[in-house]
Structure 1
Amino acid sequence: MCGRYATTRSEADLGLLFDAVTVAEELAPSWNVAPTDPVPVVRMSRRHDARVVDTARWGLIPPWADDPRAGARMINARAETVATSPAFAPSFQRRRCLVPADGWFEWVRDGRKRQAFYMTPADSSVLAFAGIWTMWREQTLTCSVLTTAALGGLAAVHDRMPLILPRERWPEWLAGGGDAPGLLRPMSPAELAAIEVRPVRPDVGNVRNNGPHLLTAPEPEIEAEATLF
C-alpha cells in the first residue's frame, strides 16, 4: 500500500478546497494513478508565501540518487520509520505536503482470482494523504505518500493504508517541524467510519486502463445452467 489511487479534481477545484494558489501544470483526471505518474500535491511555497497546488512525480527520488528510476521503489514511506529513514527524514522535517485523492485501491486474493477494492469517502469528499516531497536535481519535484497500519475493517483488505489527514490537521502538517508522534497519529474512529469499501472491476489492475468505469462494481459471474436430457 498504496500503489494505485484516483485523483480527478481539477487544479482550480483543488485550489479552492485547500485554500491554495494554483501553480501546477494542467493534469488530466486519473482514475488509475500509478507509480511515477505526475500527480497534484499541496505544499507551502516560500516564493508565494502561501499554500500552492503543484505537480510532483509520484515516487520520491533522494537527492543523492543517480537514476530517477529509484523513485519507483519509493512511492510510500512508512509512518513508523519516516522520521529516522535517511531517504525520508529530511523531507519529513522540512518538506511535507498533502496528496489529494478521491480514493485508493487494494487487492484481495481469493484462490487464483484477485478482487480489487476501492476505499473512498462515502460522501465523495476529498481525501488528503500525508505526503513528503523533495526536488531532484533542482528540476523534478517528487513525492511519497505516508502509510500506516490499516484500521478497522480496512485491515481485512490490506494491512497498510495511507495516513489520511482531516482538514484541521493540514496547517500543522504543512508547517514543517513539530512532534513526530503527534503528526503521525492515525485517524479517529469517526473519520474511519466515513470510509467506504467497495469491490470494483478488475480492469484497474492494468495501468493502461483509465476512466470512471474502473470504479463500478464488477459484473456478477454467471453460472452455467445444467441442461437436462
Structure 2
Amino acid sequence: MINAVGETVSTKPAFRTAFQKRRCLVLGNGFYEWKKDGKRRLPTYIYPKNGEPLAFAGLWDTWKSPEGLVIRSCTIITTSANSFIDPLHTRMPVILSDETQALWVDPLTEDTTNLKPLLISAPEEFLTSHPVSKTVNSVYNQGPELILPLTLGDQYPSLKRPLVSIVTK
C-alpha cells in the first residue's frame, strides 16, 4: 500500500501493529501532486520553503512473497490537506517536525495515544511549490531535472508560439 490514512492507521488491521511497533521516518526533499487544468493534470513539486529535508511519518513491515522471498516495505501516513495543498489534493503526507521525530521512532512508545496528535498537516506557511515536467509521471524517469521549475510553455510546446504574428513586406 502506498500510504496509510492517519485517522484510521491505529485501527486498520493492515497497519495497527506497525503503528504500535514499526514506525519510521521516510526522508525526502519534497513530494508531487497533480493540479487539474481541464482535462490535463499538471504535476507540481511541493517542498519546504527553508529547503531542508522533510521527514514523513512512516510505517515499515516485512512479508513473504508467494515465491518465499522476504520483502521489506514501508508506507507514508497521510492526513487532511492544509489550505496550501487543498487546491491540489484533499490529503497530504504527515510531515514530522524536528521536535517530534524522536518520539515517532522511539521503540519504547507502544501507547499510541501520544502519537495520534502528531498526525496533523504541516502549517500552510511551511511549504511552497512550482510546476514541473510531466516526465515525473513515469517511474522509469529519474534525476534532479524532475524537480526543476518550468513554465507551461516548456511542458506544452504549443504554448511557446507567439499568439500574434507580424508579417512585413
**Structure-2-length-normalised TM-score:** 0.82
1:76 has 2:3 as partner: yes
Mean Cα deviation higher: 206-215 or 100-109:
206-215
Q: Equivalent residues in 2 for 1:100-111 (5 A)?
A: 100-111=27-38
1:198 has 2:130 as partner: yes
2:118 to 167, 183, 204: 183
1:26-77 deviation per Cα after TM superposition (whole angstroms, max 9, x unaligned): xxxxxxxxxxxxxxxxxxxxxxxxxxxxxxxxxxxxxxxxxxxxxxxx1100
Partner SS for 2:86: helix
Shift in Å at residue 209 of structure 1?
1.5
Question: How many residues are matched?
Answer: 153
Query: How many percent of aligned residue pairs carry the same amino acid?
Result: 37
Contact residue 5 and residue 79 of structure 2 kept, 8 A: yes
Contact residue 81 and residue 121 of structure 2 kept, 8 A: no
Amino acid at match of 2:58: G
Structure 2: unaligned runs, 5 residues or longer: 154-158
Structure 1: unaligned runs, 5 residues or longer: 1-73
1:212 to 123, 139, 144: 144
- Alpha-carbon distance in 1 for matches of 2:85, 2:103: 26
- Alpha-carbon distance in 2 for matches of 1:173, 1:153: 25
Shift in Å at residue 118 of structure 1?
0.6
Contact residue 103 and residue 119 of structure 1 kept, 8 A: yes
1:126 has 2:53 as partner: yes
Shift in Å at residue 206 of structure 1?
1.8
CA RMSD after TM alignment:
1.9
1:81-106 deviation per Cα after TM superposition (whole angstroms, max 9, x unaligned): 10000001110011100000110001
1:147-190 deviation per Cα after TM superposition (whole angstroms, max 9, x unaligned): 01100211111111000101110111112323143232433x3x
